[in-house]
Amino acid sequence: MANINVKISRSEKTYPIYIEKDDITNLKLKITQSLRSDKYLVVISEKVEKIYGKILGFSKDEKFVLKDGEKEKNFENYKKIINKAMEKGLKRNDSIIAIGGGVTGDLAGFAAATYMRGIDYIQVPTTLLACVDSSVGGKVAIDTKAGKNLVGCFYQPKSVFINLNFLKTLDERQYKTGLGEVVKYIFIEKNCKCQVNFSNFMSENTGKILSRDLNVLEKMIEICIKLKVSVIEQDEEEQGLRKILNFGHTYAHALENLTRYNKYTHGEAVVKGIKFAFNLAEKRSLIDKNYRYFADDILGKFNFTEIPDYPKDKILQIMKMDKKNYSSKITFILPVDYSTVEEFSLYEDEIFPSR
Ligand code: NAD
Ligand code: GLY
């Protein structure tokens, strides 16, 4: 078992992240003992409820069961959660417990952030992506018709309970999706100023990672979280350093939007975005061929879904609307050296030269 403490310097907030592989039957007690009151609302993903509902042991009346899929991270479900919290009479020292993947965590976290100007929320991530990324760092949001995560805020959880046993039932596609966010850390590690040599760890343990060896997964998740925490502790609201966590995401968000969020998962799109960033960096002579081969090699080991190139003009049109841009230029995080990235703002023809 590993415990990581997050200390947000700006707000002086702290919270624990527990990573463990204990029996899931003990989880309810651990969570409820950590709360400030005995009143709470559990927001749980439908699939997780089907598989783990009985073992977890929360009663029907304590739960809001959220249907699965990105399209459920919407205003309608936000309203339903707020109404359920009101019906239950939740007050300011009560809590919302989010059990599921990033969709559940982002939505329930946003409801907690805004209910009575903010009540405690507990993240119980059950996908690999949620363990290594979305449950940590306090980005909470819902989607609108105009795009993903357009209504949201930064609101840190009270605690994060990661139980590795949940990962045993993830389907292969969702597991690989999480690995897409995991491999991202290989290429940004030096900016995080954490000495972990994550690329070695990932190369040496590829087989065990792919076969979900829980001891190796525990270490892998711990490293990813330590890297992320080292970034968000310095820059909670993405004013500078935190932007590195968007490595691969400029292209990924455009691709997800172009394919209406139903063709590729977020992690699949991020891997394509990482490859795109490496191509662009090589074309702009920011990196040499050897680093590019190194990246291809390590990504190749994980057998990610191959995604074809999409029409440049369509991708560009969407990239231009990215909320991370400040001007008519498009913002990218690009590799500049081994495990090191930098932010660049580029004109269209610097991204896709016309000849
Ligand atoms: P998800 O929440 O949609 O979960 C994926 C699927 O896995 C769902 O069908 C779910 O029911 C199922 N599932 C969950 N746990 C399971 C388990 N233990 N066993 C079997 N099936 C299980 O997707 P995700 O990849 O976890 O999260 C994607 C979301 O996260 C997106 O909305 C994205 O915007 C958001 N996100 C947020 C942040 C952040 O910092 N807040 C970071 C990255 C991604
Ligand atoms: N997932 C990117 C971030 O948390 O900033």
Beta-carbon contacts of 60 under 8 Å, excluding residues fewer than 6 positions away, are none
> Which ligand is closest to the CA of 56, given by its number?
1
The percent of residues in the chain predicted with pLDDT above 90, rounded, is: 89
Q: Determine whether 242 is an active site residue.
A: yes
127 near 52, Cβ under 8 Å?
no
Confidence of residue 310 (pLDDT cuts 50, 70, 90): very high
Mean pLDDT rounded to a whole number for the chain: 95
Give nearest CA residue, ligand 2 atom 5.
245
Q: Which residues line ligand 2 (CB under 6 A)?
A: 133, 137, 139, 242, 245
- pLDDT band with cut points at 50, 70 and 90 for residue 325: low
Say whether pLDDT at 73 is over 70: yes
Nearest CA to ligand 2 atom 3: 245
Active site residue 212: no
Please, which pLDDT band fits residue 229 given cuts at 50, 70 and 90?
very high
CA dist list (Å): 168 to 51, 172, 268, 324:
11, 10, 20, 35
Ligand 1 pocket mutation, candidates 68, 121, 128, 129, criterion most atoms within 8 A of CB: 129
Q: What is the pTM of this model?
A: 0.96
CATH of 174-351, one of 1.10.3720.10, 1.20.1090.10, 3.90.650.10, 3.90.226.10: 1.20.1090.10
pLDDT of 151 over the 90 cut: yes
Q: Which CATH architecture has domain 2-170?
A: 3-Layer(aba) Sandwich (3.40)
Domain boundaries, the chain: 2-170, 174-351
Q: Is 350 considered catalytic here? A: no
Q: SS3 for 178?
A: helix
Verify whether residue 62 is a known catalytic residue: no
Instruction: Compute the distance from residue 283 Cα to the ligand 2 centre, in Å.
Output: 27
For 118, the 3-state DSSP assignment is coil
